[in-house]
Structure 1
Amino acid sequence: MLLSIMQGLFKTKSKQNTQELITKAQAGDKEVLNSLLLAHTLFLKKTASFICKRPIDEQDEEFSIALIGCHEAIIAYNPTENTSFQTFAHLIIKRRLIDFIRKETVRNNKELLFDNGETESEDDHFLLRQHAVTTYSEEQFTVSRREELIKYSKLLSNFNLSFDELTKAAPKHKDARKTAFQTAQIIADSEELYASLIENKKLPLKEIEALVEVSRKTLERQRKYIIAVVLLLNSDFVYIKDYVKGEII
């Protein structure tokens, strides 16, 4: 079972195969569910390591949290409402790990207070929790997002793109942005189209035109925006994705 699922996840039409397996897991097939979780082990380690900013292995508690998040993502995933499963799972795992980090920060600070012979009142507990959450939110989020923006800017520069250009190139109307986003998602989910983009540093317009009901003229006009979205979708920039959620489409 695990071997067949691993093969299914990495075929050309992996998105469709993954959705079929997720549907079975959602219907109550525990064997498929467990195999899906095992097949995503490397993804879980990579995601947890990225969020925690240090290597995470299967022995770490953070990996268990990521596993729980992946389980939740499998059960809740809806392809008509969400983007790719891994993007959706990445966000769920991020939220679970952030909750875990916050709780650990509060617990460790409480232990430090007790070690110093101080007692904890309800007001102390509230203030301590608020301080821990505020500190993590304002500092960790800001630093992580800034690091991602620097990396994303460098990635865009490989395609002769910049943030200023994207601001001007972004479709003004919501329907146009949605169409451009859907085109970008098709490219991001296709191994052949994505490989062509990365190798040639330009959109494979002929191949894309055959797959979407969008004119060549529109594709050329939305070229910069589509490329930027493709690069974002196939990246680990989870903070940027979360930040622009609802804005790029």
Structure 2
Amino acid sequence: MSENTNKEALLAAKDEQKRSDFIAKYEQAILRTASSSSHKYVTKEEDEWSIALVAFSKAIDSYSEDKGDFLPFAMMLVKRALIDYYRQNKKHENELSISPNIMNGGQQSEEDLSLHKEISKASLEKESNLSKELLLKDEIEGANEMLKEYGFSFYDLTKASPKQDKTKEICAEAIRCILNNKAYLEELEAKKKLPIKALSKEHDLSKKILDRYRKYIIMAVLILSKDYPLLAAYLKFVRKEE
């Protein structure tokens, strides 16, 4: 099912009629995502529908198979577009939030201006944090759906993550090996299994550790090789950025 959708998306990017048919096929899915992201029932007469539609169309243009299945990728872009839309609207609300005194021909006092700036700053920071939380939630949900194909969920990782520095470094080395080797990455995605034998034999990595922490390694490889920027930030040590 997902493979057919992925192929349809690639064809839709090259043909306008196929694009229209493809979008029409997934109208209800787009509306559901727009409604859940907006926390209200969205119809085609509302701005949210237009924004979601544009985001879905952009997803078609930017999609490639290395981004995983098309629908989770597209719906993530739809959610992000709507979050940006609400954030921009909130920003303009803050910009227009002036003292009522100005409406009567009076001037804002320095105290009013200072207070307004503090309120606006706090409101924007709160909105920014909320947007990040929502985006992170979306990424976790997307990653969870992707990991189900590998036989486990994102939430299994609370018990499957390495704790000791030495173990973490071995796992990080395995992750780097896969990310830097196209054959390893293709084997992982095709067979849904970690190439433990090759990693152990060719890179002298502990087979026992690779097997024990295979879920963690698979998760990290997929997040770092696909479109999960917020989750990827938690894996900076793998790329030796810290």
Q: Using structure 1 for the length normalisation, give the TM-score.
A: 0.55
**Residue 113 of structure 1: SS of its match in structure 2?**
coil
**Residue 134 of structure 2 corresponds to residue 134 of structure 1:** no
Q: Report percent identity of matched pairs.
A: 19
The one-letter code of the counterpart of 2:27 is T
Instruction: Note the C-alpha offset of 1:177.
Output: 4.5
The one-letter code of the counterpart of 1:161 is K
Instruction: Note the C-alpha offset of 1:101.
Output: 0.8
Match of residue 73 from structure 2: 88
- Higher alpha-carbon Rg: 2
Residues 35 and 160 (structure 1 numbering): CA distance in 2 closer, same or farther, change over 3 Å? same
Match of residue 7 from structure 2: 20
Instruction: Note the C-alpha offset of 1:75.
Output: 1.4
Match of residue 43 from structure 2: 58
- 2-side partners of 1:184 and 1:56: how far apart? 40
Q: Is the 8 A contact 2:34 2:49 kept in 1?
A: yes
**Residue 170 of structure 1: SS of its match in structure 2?**
helix
Match of residue 159 from structure 2: 161
Q: Is the 8 A contact 1:181 1:229 kept in 2?
A: no
Q: Is the 8 A contact 1:181 1:226 kept in 2?
A: no
Residues 50 and 177 (structure 1 numbering): CA distance in 2 closer, same or farther, change over 3 Å? farther
Instruction: Note the C-alpha offset of 1:34.
Output: 1.5
Q: Using structure 2 for the length normalisation, give the TM-score.
A: 0.56
**Residue 229 of structure 2 corresponds to residue 242 of structure 1:** yes
Match of residue 170 from structure 1: 171
Query: 1:118-139 CA deviation, whole Å, 9 max, x = no partner?
Result: 4699xx8xx6876654331124
**Residue 73 of structure 1: SS of its match in structure 2?**
helix
Instruction: Note the C-alpha offset of 1:103.
Output: 1.9
Instruction: Note the C-alpha offset of 1:65.
Output: 1.2
Residues 141 and 103 (structure 1 numbering): CA distance in 2 closer, same or farther, change over 3 Å? same
Query: 1:146-189 CA deviation, whole Å, 9 max, x = no partner?
Result: 79879x7xx555588344569837342512356676555446xx
- 2-side partners of 1:87 and 1:102: how far apart? 22
Q: Is the 8 A contact 2:12 2:18 kept in 1?
A: yes
Q: Is the 8 A contact 1:62 1:97 kept in 2?
A: yes
- 2-side partners of 1:45 and 1:31: how far apart? 21
**Residue 61 of structure 2: SS of its match in structure 1?**
helix
- 2-side partners of 1:64 and 1:185: how far apart? 34
Q: CA RMSD in A?
A: 4.7
Which stretch has the larger CA shift, 37-46 or 162-171? 162-171
The one-letter code of the counterpart of 1:170 is C
**Residue 103 of structure 1: SS of its match in structure 2?**
helix
**Residue 33 of structure 2 corresponds to residue 47 of structure 1:** yes
Q: Is the 8 A contact 1:69 1:96 kept in 2?
A: yes
Instruction: Note the C-alpha offset of 1:20.
Output: 3.4
Q: Is the 8 A contact 2:33 2:75 kept in 1?
A: yes
Q: Is the 8 A contact 2:35 2:41 kept in 1?
A: yes
Count of matched residue pairs: 199
Q: Is the 8 A contact 2:223 2:232 kept in 1?
A: no
